[in-house]
Structure formats: structure tokens, C-alpha cells
Structure 1
Amino acid sequence: MNDDVPILDNHLHLDPVNGRGAEAAEEFAAAGGTHLLVLNKPSWDLVAEDDVGTKEGFRETFELTCAVTAEASERLPGRAWPVLGVHPGLISRLVERGHDPEKAKESMQRGLDVAAEFVADGPAVALKSGRPHYDVDDAVWEASNEVMCHAFALAGETGCAVQLHTEGGEDFTEIAEWAEGRGLPRERVVKHYSGGPIDGPIPSVIGDKDALEAAVQSGEPFLMETDFIDDPERPGAVLGPKTVPRRVRWLREEGYEDALYTAHVDTPARVYGIETN
């Protein structure tokens, strides 16, 4: 491997309404980054409160994200792709506003239907879904799992991947089996914010040195991410745009050239069908 091998951040947010937007992609590129997967922020961060949870609100959220992703692409030596979907925390916001879990589930599934249109027609390459990473009651948990399984079914139909926002842990075999049961191979299911190797989906490993070293030493496919939020009130949260390029340099210095090729060329091609090289 040489310094020309691409550098992909698998999970980063760009906020064209409240944040830095495509300027953050310039910072990523200046540090050596080449490619991005840009996840839409939750709809409540981008659209009017009355539109949150509506098809119109979802569509506006996705259009804003596709536009800022296209702008980011122009500032990269490689390119950026949108990943669109519904944040699993939306169910709690809808329940707090008086929806029962069943109605909230139906709203979120309609949002995923809209996201799937952007995959089928372009330019998005994957869907985003999941379930709450915090304690919820049984009805909300069950409804959230049904939303996630709807995403798997849509992805199976459109031939795309799904990025998951879920609770922490190492064993997600059951989730991978749910995906396979709906026509989506487990290698097209990505667990966002992984702390190292996991069972079931492909881990998208947060840019922590210990987590990355564990992923590298596992010998299994993985991706790298920052989960940069692009929130002016929390600059650099979760990790800043420069982090993945810096971690790539560190891993290269540690002698992990083959693993870096896996994370930034082979695995993106396998999971998303995208070319970074």
C-alpha cells in the first residue's frame, strides 16, 4: 500500500442548515481524505417542527442532504455519496407528541419508503435505520424492530446496504439473520459506531485507536468512521473530520497496510458497490 490508497469516512454528517456543511468536507480533504458517505441528520434538525415525521419533511431532509453531499463531492479528490433514512430516535419524539408506537412506526416506515426512492433513482447508495440505543418500553422496542426490518426489506428489493444506529454490543447475529430473512445479505448490513469487531453485520469502527487496532487484528472486513455531527454548538463532535485520515496515517505507521486497503477499497466495494480506488 502507498499514500495513494483512498481514505473513506463511512459515517459523517453535513448540516447545510445549521452547520458548516460542505466546508467540513474541505477539512477532511485537507487532512488527506478522499471519499465520504454522508448521512442525513435527523429530520428535526433540518425541517420545521410541524413537518417532522411527515413524508414532506422526510423528502425535504433527503433533498437537503443530497444537495450538500453533491457540494462536498466537488471539494474532494474523490467523491461523496448520500446515505438516507430515519433516525431511530424519532419514534420517541413522535410518542412524546402523542402518537402511539404503531402510528409512529408507520410514519417512520413511510420515511424509509421515500429514502428508498432516492436509492432506486439515485444518488443515494444505502439506507439508514436502526433502533433506540437507550431504554424504551416493550411496545416502542417492538415497533422499532419492525421499522428496522422494513428497511431490510426495502434494501433487499433495491439491492442496497443498510447502516444501523443501535445500542452498543458485540453480538448482532439476530439482526443479521432478520436481514437475510428479508432478502438482504448480512455483508450489506453495517453497524455504525462499532467499538471493534462484532458478530453479524460489518462493523463501521469509530476512530478510536484501541477500537481500530482490535478491528485490524481480527482480520475481518471493517470500515472506519467519525460520526462527525456538524453541530456549531459542539464543534468536533463526535470526532472531527480530520480524524479518519489521521488514524489511517497512524495505522500505516503501525504496519497495517493490508487492513487499510480492506477498509477503504475492498469493503466499500463489497458493501455498497462503490469504487474508491
Structure 2
Amino acid sequence: MNIEETPVLDNHLHLDPVNGRNTEAAEAFASMGGTHLLVLNKPSWNLVEVATDQEIFREGFDLTVDAVDDASEVLDGRAWPVLGVHPALISKLVEGGYTPAEARDIMQAGLDVAAEYVASGPALAIKSGRPHYDVEEAVWEASNEVMRYAFDLAGEVGCAVQLHTEGGEDFEEVAEWAESEGLPCEQVVKHYSGGRLRGPIKSVLADKDELEIAVAEDEPFLMETDFIDDLDRPGAVLGPKTVPKRVRWMLEQGWDEAVRTAHVETPARVYGIDTEATLARN
């Protein structure tokens, strides 16, 4: 198989219509054979301001939805928005004078809006999580409550949740929380994952060493760049061409089945999307 015969999905990438390359980054992805994107809204303070009410969340979400529409125009496949609340917002709010409980309520209100965008059509999934850095116990507990609320909402509207969390390989407890809130654990995706993970579905950063581990593990997985789209950090975390480049490398290794797993089967299993049927060149 060659790259022209398969969909190529970047499961977690940002497009910034305010401060970044935006559609140009999607074009760079497409130029290497990339076909489908899941575009995560950037934190509210990167696009608008620190979100303290639902209207600020909506403003940031609408910018992302528009960016996704523009990206779809330059792809052989299409892009979908994944909308939600960055877990670092709790720190921004607490630093601004809110209590952890008040910050939790604001973030849950933002998730309510994200769930509306899923239920009404433009968004595919919800983003949530907890800080990837050390925080005080009250902030950690409030963050876990926010994450569990995201699971509950996703269970209600029937969508997946992408998680931004601390590093590590064991997230079985988090997967159990999702199940207890009515969300199947296979609809929980750990963004920025290594090649091994217990609990959620892993979205593996497109690093050769981690991808080699993921292939050997022979489990469902996705691939991502976590491209930030910041002109001051042009290649961070990985550039938009990286996933298609890694797919080319994987095919050279003879890992055709793993490519199908990451770009056809797992997206269908987690999100209910058909990356083959939405590929225009087919």
C-alpha cells in the first residue's frame, strides 16, 4: 500500500485563525498526503480572553468551527471540530480570584456549550481533562469533577471525549470513571499518549519510537501532532506535515495493518466517522 491508497488522519491539531497559520497549516498537511483533521479549539485566552462565561466560550468555539470549515476546503477528506475546555483554565481562573469550586462551575458551563455544538451538528467530540502540572488538592479535585462532568455530557449526546492530562501509562481509573458516567471507555481518548496505555484509547504523538511501540502492542490507536499553530513556535509540538510523513515511513516498514488501524478502524470505533467514505479521491 502507498499513502495515496489510505486516509491519513491527524487526531489532535490546533488551527489558530487569530494568531497562526490557520488554513495554510491544513494545506501543508494535505501537501504530504494528509486527508482528515480533528481540530481542537485553542485555550480561550489564546483566541479571545480568559473565559468566565458561556458567551466567551462560544466566541472561541465559533472561531474554531469557521477554521475547520476553511480547512475542509483544502483537504481530500475533511476536518471536524473537537470543542471543550482546556484544563489549565482552572489555574487561570484561580489566579484571577475565583475559588476552585467557582472555576469548576465556569468550566462545566463551557462544557455545556461544547455539548450543544455536538448535539446541534458542527462538533464531533468534546475536549476535557485535568492539569498536567502540579496543583493544590482543591484544584485537582475540582478538575476531576470537571472531567467527570464531560464524561456525563458525552454519554448524553453520544460522542467521544479527548483528554488533556498528565503523562503516564495507567489511566484505568479514569476509564472506569467514564464508564460510571455512562460513557464507554473506548470513547475516551488520551491525547499526547505514548505507545503504551491502559484504560482509554491512545492518541500517539507521531514519534517513530512511540509509534513502533504502538504497532507492537497491536491495540487500537490514533496518531497526532498536537500542532499548536503559534507563529512564535512554528513547529511546536510537531509540525502539520508530521503525521503523513510518519504514515509514509510506517508503510515503508510494511505496517499497512497498523496504518489502517490508526486511520480507518479506530476513528470509526471511537468517533463513528468513516474516513474512507469521506475521502473525495475515492
Is residue 230 of structure 2 the alignment partner of residue 227 of structure 1? no
Give 1:20's aligned residue. 21
Looking at structure 2, the residues matched to 260 and 135 of structure 1 have their Cα atoms a distance apart, in angstroms, of: 36
Looking at structure 1, the residues matched to 218 and 274 of structure 2 have their Cα atoms a distance apart, in angstroms, of: 22
SS in 2 for 1:192: strand
The aligned amino acid for 1:41 is: K
Is residue 102 of structure 2 the alignment partner of residue 103 of structure 1? yes
The aligned amino acid for 1:23 is: E
User: 1:54: how far off?
Assistant: 1.5
Looking at structure 2, the residues matched to 222 and 86 of structure 1 have their Cα atoms a distance apart, in angstroms, of: 23
User: 1:48: how far off?
Assistant: 3.5
Range moving further from structure 2, 40-49 or 139-148: 40-49
- Identical amino acids, percent of aligned pairs: 71
CA deviations over 1:97-130 (Å, ceiling 9, x no partner): 0000000000000000000000000111100000
Give 1:207's aligned residue. 206
SS in 2 for 1:67: helix
The aligned amino acid for 1:266 is: E
Is residue 234 of structure 2 the alignment partner of residue 264 of structure 1? no
CA deviations over 1:221-270 (Å, ceiling 9, x no partner): 00000000000000010000000000001111111100100000000000
Unaligned runs of 5+ residues in structure 2 are: 277-282
The aligned amino acid for 2:178 is: A
Unaligned runs of 5+ residues in structure 1 are: none
Looking at structure 2, the residues matched to 163 and 192 of structure 1 have their Cα atoms a distance apart, in angstroms, of: 6
Give 2:30's aligned residue. 29
Looking at structure 1, the residues matched to 16 and 52 of structure 2 have their Cα atoms a distance apart, in angstroms, of: 18
CA deviations over 1:120-179 (Å, ceiling 9, x no partner): 001111000000000001000000000000000000000000000000000000000000
The aligned amino acid for 2:139 is: V
SS in 2 for 1:18: coil
SS in 2 for 1:144: helix
Give 1:141's aligned residue. 140
Give 2:244's aligned residue. 245
User: 1:2: how far off?
Assistant: 4.1
**Is the contact made by 1:197 and 1:220 (CA closer than 8 Å) also made in structure 2?**
no
Looking at structure 1, the residues matched to 28 and 196 of structure 2 have their Cα atoms a distance apart, in angstroms, of: 28
Give 1:130's aligned residue. 129
Is residue 181 of structure 2 the alignment partner of residue 182 of structure 1? yes
The aligned amino acid for 1:78 is: G
Extract structure 1 runs of 4+ deviating beyond 2 A.
Answer: none
User: 1:53: how far off?
Assistant: 2.5
| RMSD of equivalent CA atoms | 0.7
Is residue 88 of structure 2 the alignment partner of residue 84 of structure 1? no
Give 1:7's aligned residue. 8
Looking at structure 1, the residues matched to 63 and 44 of structure 2 have their Cα atoms a distance apart, in angstroms, of: 10
Give 2:62's aligned residue. 63
**Matched residue pairs, number?**
275
Looking at structure 2, the residues matched to 35 and 61 of structure 1 have their Cα atoms a distance apart, in angstroms, of: 22
**Is the contact made by 2:2 and 2:248 (CA closer than 8 Å) also made in structure 1?**
no
User: 1:95: how far off?
Assistant: 0.2
Is residue 49 of structure 2 the alignment partner of residue 45 of structure 1? no
Query: TM-score if structure 1 supplies the norm length?
Result: 0.98
User: 1:195: how far off?
Assistant: 1.2
Give 2:53's aligned residue. 54
